[in-house]
Each structure stands twice: as structure tokens, then as C-alpha cells.
A and B are shown apart, each in its own frame.
Chain A
Amino acid sequence: MKEIKLMKGNEAIAEAAIRCGADGYFGYPITPQSEVMETLMALKPWETTGMVVLQAESEIASINMVYGGAGCGKKVLTSSSSPGVSLMQEGLTYLAGAELPCVVVNVVRGGPGLGTIQPAQSDYFQAVKGGGHGDYKLIVLAPASVQEMADFVDLAFDLAFKYRNPAFILTDGVIGQMMEKVELAPFKPRWTNEEIEKNHPWATMGKKQRKERNVITSVELDPYKHEDLNKKLQAKYRLIQETEVRLEMIACEDADYLLVAYGASARICEKAVEVARSKGIKVGLLRPITLFPFPTLEIKRLAAQVKGILSVEMSAGQMVEDVRLAANGVVRVEHFGRLGGIIHSPSEVVEALENFFLKA
């Protein structure tokens, strides 16, 4: 029987983490995502699945607790919002450098600085381009509904372990706070230590009967060896780019104009497509579900079909750079978005589209 619940996006993250067999959550309160840890603490999974939930002294500590747990081959996650995720950047580059799988959720709020607690999409660059020091990538998923908030926790863990790479859920205060109905996945059992040892032989669980000790590290002082390590990472990112692109296309077949938007902006743009089409403008929507890997090839293909592309994000224009790279000059690409916690309306999006492309 289907289990359907009305819940907030943040609550869905918590519920899904328990159900997908996560071993640990480490976090620090910050608006607008505190419901993730609050829900976990209220559900007391340590009494049912054995999942550890711990409030850390800072986001720096949370991400390093995640590092410790991930190094043991455990399914561990943390969540935060923009200022807190800035503090995690050091940990994230170490996790990427040591090739550790984990899940990190950013329920984005407006910046820069302390900014606002209202929703924004202004952390795209930080999530998609690395964020910390060094050449690395996170696998970035962008849910656009509470259902996807729930589903993507499990998916993020799958991808993280498949590629031994941190997976990032880039969402925003709209999706985190809004309530929708969610079909919950059945409970998966947590991995046993024996299963982890067998499937993830790199994990540090004590040397046991292994001949060689396991060392989780990202340091290599020999530059030639370190260049090789970097090349190996880049090869992995290329494989992810070739294999894991996920996207949704709405009304693109006959589109003269294309909107590109993710997360809450994509939900708004769905409505904008309807509004535009009711006015006789043939508009389609491409929604990247993965922001890294970015759906470059699909945008390139559509660039040859349409007369203009509008990238819509609650930022000053970040994803638009990747859309422009994908379109590669074949068609004009513009950006529209409200800033600082303001959410654009569907009619504002259509108006922007008209102003850019339909007025002489």
C-alpha cells in the first residue's frame, strides 16, 4: 500500500534519509532548513534503524563529522543553508579530494553575507563550480518538488557511492518550506558492517584481517603523483558528465523560445509556459535536474531550434553562464531573476521574455 503524507520539503529530506538506510546525520541549526534536524530528532531513528543524529557545534564540525563517517563507508549526510554551507566548503574540498561519498543539502537563502532568510538560488556557482579550493566537482541535484526532495536523498547516496564523490542537493527556501503530498519510499535496511567491508573495501573500519591498512587522505606531496590523482578525478567527472545528466523538458517540441530553470524557478516557469502559450507565444521549458552534470548537449540541440533562450533563476545570473556555454553563440541567451529573497511571478517571467525577444 502506498504511504502518502503531506509534508514540508525539509521534513521530506529527514524522512527520506531514515527510509533510505542512512547511518548518520550531523548538522547545525540555520533558517530556513532547521526542520531537517528537528524532524530527525523527533523521529528518533536511533531507536528504530540505529541511525545516529547529532547536533554539532558548527557547520565546520558537521561536515568533518560527515568526513569521519563517510571514511568508514557509512551513509552520512548533513544539511544547512547558504552561510552554513560557506563554512562547509573546506570540508567539501577535502571530501572530494579524498573521494568520499556523502550527501549535503543546501536549502539556499539570499546572500551575500548574512543576507536574508528568504529563498534564493544565488549559490549555484558555489555548488556547481566546486566552491572550495582545487579542481573538483560535486554531483549536484536540484529538486523542484517536495516529492523530489524525498526521492533525491536516496538517489544522491546512490550516485555518491557509485562515484565515491560528495553529492549535493541544491534546493531553496521555497522547496524546503512548502508543503506538498509525498509518496514515501519503503524502508531500506541500513548496510551491515560486513556489507560495507565487502562493497567498499576502501573504508576505514579497523584493519581487521586486511593485509594493507586503509588510509583516507587527500595529501600527496610528489607533484607528479598529485597530477596523476588530479587527472583521475577529472576522468571521473567526465564520466559523470557523460553518464548522469538528468533533465525534464516541458513543451519543447514546437518551442520558438526556451526557458531554462531549476528548482523553485522551474515550478514558476511551468506556469509561465502556460501563460505564454495562452498569449500565442510558443515557449518550452528545460529543467536541469542535475546541475553538475549540466544538460549541455540538450540545450545545444534546442539552441538550434529556438529563437531565444531565457535562463530564469533567483540570482543575478549564474546558471545563465552555463546555458550560454551550451548554446555557444548559436542563439541569444538572456537572464531574468529577482534577487535577495524575492520570488519572481510567472507573468514577470513572460514579460521579461517578451521584452528581450519579442519587442523590436
Chain B
Amino acid sequence: MIDTVNPIIAPENLIYAKSEVLLDNIMHYCPGCSHGVVNKLIAEVIEDMGIQQTTIGIAPVGCAVFAYNYLDIDWQEASHGRAPAVATGVKRLLPDTFVFSYQGDGDLAAIGTAETIHACNRGENIVMVFVNNGIYGMTGGQMAPTTLPGMQSSTCPFGREASRDGHPLKITELLAQLPGTSYVTRQAVHTAASVRKTKKALRLAFENQKLNKGTSVIEVVATCSSGWKMTPVQANKWMEENMFAYYPLGDMKNE
């Protein structure tokens, strides 16, 4: 096998290489999870822009708690939901660096709602990457603020009922209303085309930071095969049919 592969590994045949910003550590994400792709895209954008030496990432509590093991940049690990406040402290004191928070739905839209809204409202010059899979993956599949109506989780085993559990929070739409945000978009990473679009969105967000344009929010609607109890293929299909209906993809604001 190796003998047949090796001869074709030549520079002229190379169409893809792992980003130098990505470390060799084995990712802890489950098979079919979207996080790995989003981590990779951020690494590629950082490499493409040549900002590896000046970027500081803020990791959340949740599935991406160990994101700092995958990207070869400086990181701070925040407490649950507080990444936007931590990012504020970093960016205000080191305005010449690139700062991004990387957060899931529980982190950004439940426990950290106040920090999220106020960082955006101040127009903190940061990038917020929001991975929305509608469930708490790390803790074992509990209901998230973005869990869809009727969707089952370990804390709403018979499905989310708005009358009891409240409604799924469209926080990204809310953030787009704030004058402090300059670019707010919702993307996905389940097809080659959507991956390219998300990379473009991330690039624009980091370019905005260079231009001091305020907060850029990139939501990525994501799958959680483990939490949803589906195969990765089923999860992609379920996401397209159900998540996209409630969380439509596209730019909400681009100023």
C-alpha cells in the first residue's frame, strides 16, 4: 500500500496540505462532528492571513474546551460562557493582536448570554465563532437553548415543549440587531460547498478585525451525531431538513 502511495506524494501532485497552524494532536471530537472542520478552517484562515504569531484564541467550556490542543497559537481557556468577556480583556489590552472566541450554543446562548450580547453591543473588535448543534455534547446530550421544538435530549426525553422549556433562541438574529456588530452570518460545514463558504466568512471576519470594524459573529449550524443519536450521514440529512428550517443559512448583516 505504502509503496503504491509514496511515489505519487510529490509536490506537483499536491492539491491539499494540512495547515501548518494545525497541530498533530489527535482531536477528541466524535466521528461526524462539525467542530473538527471548523477548527481546521480557522487554522487555514490564520495561516492564509499570516497572523499565527499575533492571534489569541479564547476556548470555551463545552465540546471545544480542548480547542487549544489543535491550533498552534496562544490560547486562553475561559470559564463557561465568559469567553466574550475574556476576549474583551485581551483585545482591549493588546489591540494589535487578532482575538477570537470559539463557543458552543450552551456557552454562548445560555450561560454566557449577557457576556455575548454586551461584547457585541460594545462592538468589541473580535471574532465570535458560534458552533450551534442544538445540544450539549460534552455533558452527554442535554437540552440546549437552541434545541428545536420536539427534539429529544436527555433532559427533554419526550421532546422540547415550548410551553415548558421555552423556545429555541435565535441569538444570532438578535446580535445582528446590535449596532456594535458589523458582520453577522450563519453558515454550515456539511458539504464541500458549505465548507468553502464558511471559510470565506471566517476570512471576512478576521479581515474586519484588521480594519477595526467591530464584532463579527460567525454561526456554524452543526451536527452532533453522538448527542442526536444518529449516524453522521443521518445527522447531516436531519440538520438540512430540520435545523436549516429554523436556522436559515446566509448573511444577516455585512457592513
Give the distance in Å from the alpha carbon of A57 to the alpha carbon of B114 in the complex. Answer: 8
Stretch at the interface among B69-77, B154-162, B192-200, B203-211: B69-77
Q: Which of B53, B73, B88, B115 has the most CB of A within 10 A?
A: B88
Q: Which residues of A contact B59 (CB under 8 A)?
A: 217
**Chain B residue at minimal CB-CB distance from A66:** B89
Number of B positions contacting A (CB below 8 A): 32
Task: Name the A residues within 8 Å of B91 (CB-CB).
Answer: 68
Contacts A57-B118, A67-B78, A91-B82 given; does A207 touch B72 at CB 8 Å:
yes
Q: Does A243 contact B (CB under 8 A)?
A: no
**A164: CB under 8 A from chain B?**
no
Report B-chain residues with C-beta under 8 Å of the C-beta of A54.
Answer: 88, 92
Which A residues from 274 to 322 make CB contacts under 8 A with B? none
User: Is B85 in contact with chain A by the CB < 8 A criterion?
Assistant: yes
Q: Is B58 an interface residue (CB 8 A)?
A: yes
Interface centre among B68, B79, B89, B115 (most CB of A within 10 A): B89
Partner of B89, one of A24, A57, A90, A205: A24
Chain A interface size, under 10 / 10 to 19 / 20 to 34 / 35 or more: 35 or more
Question: Is the CB–CB distance between A206 and B56 below 8 Å?
Answer: yes
**Does B19 interact with chain A (Cβ within 8 Å)?**
no
Check B118 against A206 for contact (C-beta < 8 Å): no
* Chain B residues, CB < 8 A from A213: 68, 72-75
Query: Do B74 and A207 touch across chains, with their CB atoms under 8 A apart?
Result: yes
- Residues 74-114 of B, flagged 1 when their CB comes within 8 A of A and 0 if not, give 11111100100111111111100100000000000000001
> Is A64 an interface residue, CB under 8 A from the partner?
yes
* Known contacts A64-B79, A91-B79: A207-B89 contact under CB 8 Å: no
- Decide: A76 and B89 in contact? CB cutoff 8 A: yes
Shortest beta-carbon distance from B79 to chain A in Å? 5
Q: Is the pair A61, B92 in contact by a Cβ cutoff of 8 Å?
A: no
A49 to B78, CA, bound (A): 28
A215/B89 in contact, CB under 8 A: no
Contact B86 A68 (CB under 8 A): yes
Q: Which residues of A contact B58 (CB under 8 A)?
A: 68
The answer to whether the Cβ of A269 comes within 8 Å of any Cβ in the partner chain is: no
Contact A206 B82 (CB under 8 A): no
B89 A204 Cβ-Cβ under 8 A:
no
Chain A residue nearest in CB terms to B82: A64
State whether the Cβ of A214 lies closer than 8 Å to any Cβ in chain B: yes
Q: Which residue of A lies closest to B75 (CB)?
A: A215
Do the beta carbons of A68 and B77 come within 8 Å of each other? Answer: no
| A323 at interface, CB cutoff 8 A | no
Q: Does residue B234 face the partner (Cβ distance < 8 Å to A)?
A: no
Q: Is A263 close to B, CB under 8 A?
A: no
In the complex, A30 has a CB within 8 A of chain B: no
Residues of A within 8 A of B53 (CB): 206-209
Asked if A8 is an interface residue, CB under 8 A from chain B, the answer is no
Is there an interface contact between A23 and B74, defined as CB atoms closer than 8 Å? no
Provide a sorted-by-A list of 14 A–B residue pairs whose CB atoms are within 8 angstroms: A24-B92, A56-B85, A56-B88, A64-B82, A64-B86, A64-B89, A65-B88, A68-B76, A68-B86, A68-B91, A69-B92, A76-B89, A91-B79, A193-B94
Q: Which 7 A-B pairs have the closest CB atoms?
A: A68-B89, A64-B85, A217-B77, A65-B89, A204-B74, A68-B86, A57-B118
